[in-house]
Structure 1
């Protein structure tokens, strides 16, 4: 954006703090905030609209106008065009092919909420098309995809927000947790346990007719061409209802072809906060060990031997050797959240609570003034989109940057590779490769299906 429209991150966040209530911004003549003229508001488009795509769009009307939407399911697309029209008084243009959005000069930024296997291709092409990017977590399907995104962000100078909202909207308790650790309230951290829940295996899922309106080949995109699979039982409340068991909407998370199971779903949240607290957002582990785990189907050489059932791990306990002799445990057992243990105490934090003696002690011994703001880097934003737009304004990367996200996501990806191969992996965080294991390193990337390679 032009320099006349730029503002510093601290000035912007101070404006939010002065406004008081969550997600309220003070009026500004700056283009990104657009409170004085409709012509000054940033212009967005959303690509991928089911559930989370609508969620992030709906949270953004306060700050931006939506000129276009894209989805490969015409039913989802049509429903959300009407929703956006109702919200902003003007219908956005609708496309099945997201590339039509990238061709437009009037769109400043895209919000991406497709299945994970599409994230990198769309993100890279959007940046080369001159768009800033907000992309849902987990950002990548493989470790090498993360390296590519980092390179393109640096090359193009685009602003890129990852949708790990525990750093902002649901993050007050997590920021307090990090502040407690930085203030030495539990002494030297020895162990951190990330509880991220397991999942249930699926029954055999048969081939089924592709739902009317869904372009199944385009949905698969970079992934291998396979038949659509679904059982008739429905899962309600997810964008109007989808099959409870399928290899498509919602359930794609449970297939390594398209995602990484709970390790990259909830792991992308809690491992992120754990690494932030440990000061490990620009490094990585030295070893990842699958202590115990259950894969729902048989694997051979790291690949499932059947294609009609969920294949991501259902139960697991992973031990990760982190810097400064800290052990990280990632487990499907126990309460969902993060347990920090140090030489002087321990406490537990999740989206609903922060508990433990160090927390109780705050009543008589509060954190230093500004401790939470120091963690965040200024007054805390209560809206992830606002933080993104502020980055667009200042041309600085927002709170959920690609570098810290990829570093923690490498732990999640390595955990999945270790379970798929059934052995511990030694990791070089400087070279970002697995040490002495050619087969395991082959899982750091994945070849795209012909016709769906990244256009750069």
Structure 2
């Protein structure tokens, strides 16, 4: 990459930061900034393109040019290369192996939207390759992976945005909720309930032939080697149709081998906002208790005894002892969203509404004009990528940094461990380990399959 290209990309990033996100979103944004040439904009690549991978890519064309895309499914890769070419007028290079993306010196940042079990390996290797990183939530498969990512971010100085968009582009109501709490509108917070919905179990899923377009061995990657399983019924509308039940596309979140069920899916959104509101983004709980829960298969010593059905919890009620005697409940029951209860009131917030007496009272007693900006730490970016690029310019971490994300995700991971083992877990938030429980602590990490170790 020439020195002139480096300068023009830097100027683009500064344009976003200094002009403000609002200007970037207008239809004439590129003309206003004078960035008609691809050389004037930062160069991105996306690794993992199904569903959310395309979603974050398509939202980023305003701010960056995509030089490369990578996916282990040839059909998904080809379709997204075609869509990207139509969007930006230039065809990106296509790779099955993400390492070829990391070898490219012209790529400034990567966006990672693979299944969760791949996140840490790709993210760490990307940072060591000199790339800034945007990675989808949940960031990690285990708690120790989070510690490793923090170490590498600090060591390399790379900018790292986690894709928890409730902190910005889908988060205006959530920012208002935090502002209400910080302004004392419900007094002292005593309880917060995160409704994240449950999930259905699956029938027995038979071994099936691997689709011709899919490199299933590479899809498994760091995870244990197992047969591909799928039922013939198709789920349309998800990247062109995938099996209704499988241990791969779409359904990977329902298997502990690749993800953490609803606890790390929706939990990564609502528990994050709850911790942010409580001022607990740099600490953790003291105890996690599985009050009620249902696992879809039998477990022994924390591991499922069968491998032909979904194994993540389908129903649950988890009690979490948070700092300052706050009780957090994570439940599959009720409305999806967050209920805050304090000594002087309560209110409920989700992506569609914010309701309750403290909200109604804003008509006569509005929040201070700068309340939302104080929560966000400055002018609110209506696009998560814009915030990422602002951070790339300042070399400061963005609104969804790895440290706050990992602290809240520890609660979700511990909740899953507590259900798998069927007991309460006492947590040391300073040492970041489970107290007096060697077996439970063994679940804080997971060894990558041979040949898929993290290259450091």
Q: Determine if contact 1:14/1:379 at 8 Å carries over to the other structure.
A: no
Aligned match of 2:64: 64
CA distance in structure 1 between the aligned counterparts of 2:11 and 2:151, rounded to whole angstroms: 24
Aligned-pair distance for 1:40?
1.4
CA distance in structure 2 between the aligned counterparts of 1:134 and 1:53, rounded to whole angstroms: 11
Structure 1 residues 352-390: Cα deviation after superposition (integer angstroms, max 9, x where no partner):
000000000000000011000100011110000111011
Aligned match of 2:109: 109
Q: TM-score w.r.t. structure 2 length?
A: 0.96
CA distance in structure 1 between the aligned counterparts of 2:15 and 2:332, rounded to whole angstroms: 39
Which structure 1 residue ranges, 5 or more long, are not aligned?
Answer: none
Q: Determine if contact 1:7/1:394 at 8 Å carries over to the other structure.
A: no
The aligned length equals 451
Aligned match of 1:142: 142
- Are 2:188 and 1:188 aligned? yes
Aligned match of 1:84: 84
Q: Determine if contact 1:22/1:383 at 8 Å carries over to the other structure.
A: no
Cα 1:377–1:28, aligned 2, differ >3 Å: closer, same or farther?
A: farther
CA distance in structure 1 between the aligned counterparts of 2:391 and 2:27, rounded to whole angstroms: 16
Cα 1:354–1:21, aligned 2, differ >3 Å: closer, same or farther?
A: farther
Aligned-pair distance for 1:10?
12
Q: TM-score w.r.t. structure 1 length?
A: 0.96
Structure 1 residues 369-421: Cα deviation after superposition (integer angstroms, max 9, x where no partner):
10001000111100001110111111111100000000000000000000000
Q: Determine if contact 2:9/2:39 at 8 Å carries over to the other structure.
A: no
Matches within 5 A, 1:120-159: 120-159=120-159
Q: Determine if contact 2:21/2:386 at 8 Å carries over to the other structure.
A: no
- Are 2:17 and 1:12 aligned? yes
Cα 1:374–1:69, aligned 2, differ >3 Å: closer, same or farther?
A: same
Aligned match of 2:218: 218
Secondary structure of the structure 1 residue equivalent to 2:20: helix
Matches within 5 A, 1:167-316: 167-316=167-316
CA distance in structure 2 between the aligned counterparts of 1:21 and 1:103, rounded to whole angstroms: 32
Q: Determine if contact 2:282/2:403 at 8 Å carries over to the other structure.
A: yes
Structure 1 residues 214-244: Cα deviation after superposition (integer angstroms, max 9, x where no partner):
0010000000100000001111111111001
Aligned-pair distance for 1:15?
1.9
Q: Determine if contact 1:13/1:381 at 8 Å carries over to the other structure.
A: no
Cα 1:159–1:350, aligned 2, differ >3 Å: closer, same or farther?
A: same
Q: Determine if contact 2:17/2:393 at 8 Å carries over to the other structure.
A: no
Aligned-pair distance for 1:268?
0.2
Aligned match of 2:161: 161
Q: Determine if contact 1:9/1:391 at 8 Å carries over to the other structure.
A: no
Q: Determine if contact 2:252/2:258 at 8 Å carries over to the other structure.
A: yes
Secondary structure of the structure 2 residue equivalent to 1:87: helix
